[in-house]
Structures are given as C-alpha cells and as structure tokens.
Amino acid sequence: METTFYINNPDNKLVDNKTTKILNNSDALSFHSSLKNYKPTPLIHLPYLAKKHGVGNIYLKDESFRFGLNSFKCLGSVYAISQILKDNPKIKAFCTATDGNHGRAVAWSAKLFNKESVVIVPKYTTDQRIKTIENEGAEVEKFNGNYDEACAYAEQISNNNGWQLVQDMAWNGYEEIPAKIMAGYTTLFKEIEKDLDSLPDSKADIVFLQAGVGSFAGSGIYHYLTRYGKNRPKTVIVEPTEADAVLSSFIKGKVTTSKGRCQTIMVGLNCGTPSIGAWNILKSGADVAVKINDEYARAAVRELYYPNGTDKRIVSGESGVAGLAGFFAIMKEEKFKILREKLNITKNTNILFISTEGATDINVFNEIINSAK
C-alpha cells in the first residue's frame, strides 16, 4: 500500500552545521529593505474560507507582489548574489537550473548587479516560462532531462565556463550558496510575524509549507525554531505525489530521491531529491509530511480565485497553492483522519499558508480557473 504521509517526532533542535551558521549570521531583511521598490507582501485574512472548512482563522501570505516578479524566489537569489559579489565582485555571469521561478529570480538579480545570467531549464518547461526568464535578460538553454539532471548539467557548464553557480539545492561540497538563498527567504517569515503581531488572537497554530528541494520549507522551520523553540507552530510539509522527495526521505530516514515521475502541474515543486542543507532542518522541526494529487492544487487555485463571501480574490499559481491544497486533502480524505487528530485541527485553529507565486504560467492558470465555469 502506498505511503502518502509521515508523522515525524522532531526534537526541535537545530543542528550546528554550515547551513545553520550562515542562517544565524545573516540579516536578509535589512538588505531587502535597502532595495528600491521593497515592500512587504500582504498577509490576507480569509474568514469565510476558514468558516467553510471549520477552523478558527486562515491567513495567507501573497508573494505574487514581490518586486514585481510574481514569486518569492527573488528574496533568496538577490540576497545570495549580493553576498557572493562582496567576496568576488569580478564575477561576470551567474548560472542556475530551474523549473521557472528561481531562474527568473536569478536573472533579475544578476541584472540588478549588471551581471550576465545563464539559466538551464528541464525538458518539460513551457514556452511561457522560458519567455518570462528571457525577458529578465538571461540566456536560456533547455536541457533534455529532469530537474536533478539539469542541476548537474548547470554545475558542469559553470565549472567549464568560469560562471558562478547559484542553486537553491545543496549537496556535499556545495552548501554555502544554498544556505544564503535560504537566509534570503527568512524575510517573508519575519514580515508575517510583524503582521500577525498587530492582529488580535492571531498566532499561527499550524503552518503549511510546500516543498520542492525543501529550501523554502527549511527556511520557514528555521525561523520558527529560532523564534519559538518547542512552542513553535506545528508544521506540515506538502509535496506533489509525483515529486515526493521529502516524504521519501522521511520514510527512509535519510536523503532519498523520489521514485515519482516528477511530472505535476505544481512545476515549481518538480524536484527529485531534497537539499541536504534543508533536510537536517526539516527533520528537526516538521511535524507531518504529506503528498497530494494535482486535483487538489487545481481546486485550491479555483477556491482562491472564486472566493467565499467577502474574502479577497487571490491569484495564486499551481505551486503557490500547494500548502492550501494539502490542507484540503487532509480535511477531506478519511486516510488523513490521523493527521487531523495529530495536528489537533478544531474550530479554533489558526492556520497560515504562503502563496509562493501568482499566475506564473498564465495559460495553465486560465485553463484551471475556466474549467470551474
């Protein structure tokens, strides 16, 4: 029988390693605040959606407004590149592999510092996503392989051409830059805390975090562990069924490559192997890992676009809604009853989601929202 979830028993203690040392010594929020056009993205209260699903409050952080790039990814790439250039200002070009948003973010960040960029995309990347990256000034090459293979190719050509690799996935021997990218992501969690602190009775009880290689989710867990320790919110890691790298790693007890096809509409999560820098943090502070089918992502996109009551309409892409989609699955399916009990989801529970992207592929987005009519 297929395993669709894992209940973790975290120790709530961060491992002392290169990744956590970099996170501890970073102040990404101060850097981001110094950039032109910096503005915290909105935290949106959705009371009617909460009422529909029988919980206390639902809050959603909308990253579609981030620096005009429609995704949170630029927080990591621009911070990492700024730190890299402090040590080596003569770098001429940055290179990365991407499913879409990270590549655009690296291209935008490189351009901000008057540098060139080369972006490698896997074979399934749509023309719309490629065009969006090219519009930021990058040279884009489609690689005949999946995301993990594209990462290996990006490393190879970076070494051959003297380019600087800027990958959000860490492996043995390549940990420093992914950690700086993770540090950049902490800005959005600090913004959330400031917004929640200004609202009555609004501490998040459960946070849903989507995972590709796990860097975003690891950044969130790092934030909550350092701020709250064992009193942190409960955290749920959500992945697509066909790219369940984190869940597979929890089941095996070590970094493991997914046996899925890595083909899902949640393309930003189409990653086969977790980042080793993120994995140690996920083990320390994730309560549940769960994988879901694409149908839940489609439902979540429509739920936000066609809101309940007077809730605000939110435009969120297929990867952006993954956390909410995981919540829908847990609340609906009988096999997840044990997770509802483990997480203690009641009519008084406050839940936080992060929409990590807007409609980054407008053709796919339109197909989803129009199928509801």
Identify the H or E element spanning 180.
Answer: helix 176-197
Alpha-carbon radius of gyration of the chain:
19
Other residues' Cβ atoms within 10 Å of the Cβ of residue 244: 28
> What does the alpha-carbon distance between residue 73 and residue 267 come to, in Å, rounded to a whole number?
14
The verdict on whether 312 is a catalytic residue reads no
Phi and psi, residue 116, nearest 5°? -90, 165
Cα–Cα distances in angstroms (integers) from residue 373 to residues 246, 265, 305, 366, 370, in the given order: 35, 20, 12, 11, 6
Q: What is the token pair recorded at 24?
A: 């501890």
Q: Pick from 286, 190, 189, 296: which is nearest to 247 by CA?
A: 286
Pairing of β 164-165 and β 93-97? parallel
Query: What is the SS3 assignment for 293?
Result: coil
The one catalytic residue among 18, 39, 92, 99 = 99
131 labelled catalytic: no
To 10 degrees, what angle do helices 101-112 and 127-134 make? 10
CA distances in angstroms from 59 to 44, 53, 98, 228, 353, listed in the order given: 6, 13, 29, 19, 6
Q: Burial, 144: exposed, middle or buried (Cβ in 10 Å; 0-12, 13-18, 19+)?
A: exposed
How far is it, in rounded angstroms, from Cα 100 to Cα 81? 18
Active-site residue (options: 11, 61, 62, 73): 73
Q: How far, in Å, are 46, 50, 214, 300 from residue 307 at the CA level?
A: 9, 11, 29, 10
Q: Position 306: which residue type? A: Y
Active site amino acids: 73, 99
